[in-house]
Amino acid sequence: MLALQGAFARHVAAIERCGAEAFEVRTAGQLDRGDALVLPGGESTTMLKLLATFELVEPLRKLLADGLPVFGTCAGMILLAADVTDGRDDQISFGAIDLDVRRNGYGRQVDSFETDLRVAAIGEPALRAVFIRAPLVERAGPEVEVLASHDDVPVLCRSGSVLTSSFHPELVDDDRLHRYFLDELVGR
């Protein structure tokens, strides 16, 4: 669990409820200990600054290129995308999934909302999704599998060992997406 900033503690709890071990990552040495990584929601600009401060950018880039299973939610989606609109001039994106996203594409904090999503990969009932200053997917590449959409816009995407969501699955009492990540991408 990348634990530099954001909602990482809620993700740790969800992973552990699914029966897997989770630990917080703050150094490059800790990155090598895990079989997978979650990049939580939070503030992507702050996360990028902290990734640079703690010298995690290049080690993380290498692990992603080597196929480390990763689940990026909200800000994590921004960090994993191929291209980011409305980012800072020095915006870094790891290009781990062929998505173009717009930071805060659903609006400001006051525009946050919740909705129910149908996700065939996890079955019924619908998944409650919490969108907070969420990224908007503007383009999904041909290798990207769209697992859920809201108003015809992809909000849950998978490509190989990378899973991303525009929303915060850790903020609801439904661990099915975390379980999907562990079972389908990590292969536990």
Could you give the CA distance from residue 42 to residue 60 in angstroms, rounded to a whole number? 18
The residue among 42, 159, 149 whose CA lies nearest residue 104 is 42
The residue among 169, 171, 147, 168 whose CA lies nearest residue 159 is 147
- Cα-based distances in Å from 5 to 50, 150, 159: 8, 27, 25
Does the active-site annotation cover 170? yes
Does the active-site annotation cover 74? yes
- Cα-based distances in Å from 31 to 64, 103, 128: 11, 26, 30
Does the active-site annotation cover 168? yes
Catalytic one among 150, 157, 170, 178? 170
The residue among 44, 68, 64, 55 whose CA lies nearest residue 134 is 44
Under a CB-based contact definition with an 8 Å cutoff, are residues 135 and 166 in contact?
yes
User: In sequence order, what are the beta bridge partners of 140?
Assistant: 99
Catalytic one among 18, 74, 150, 157? 74
Active site members = 74, 168, 170
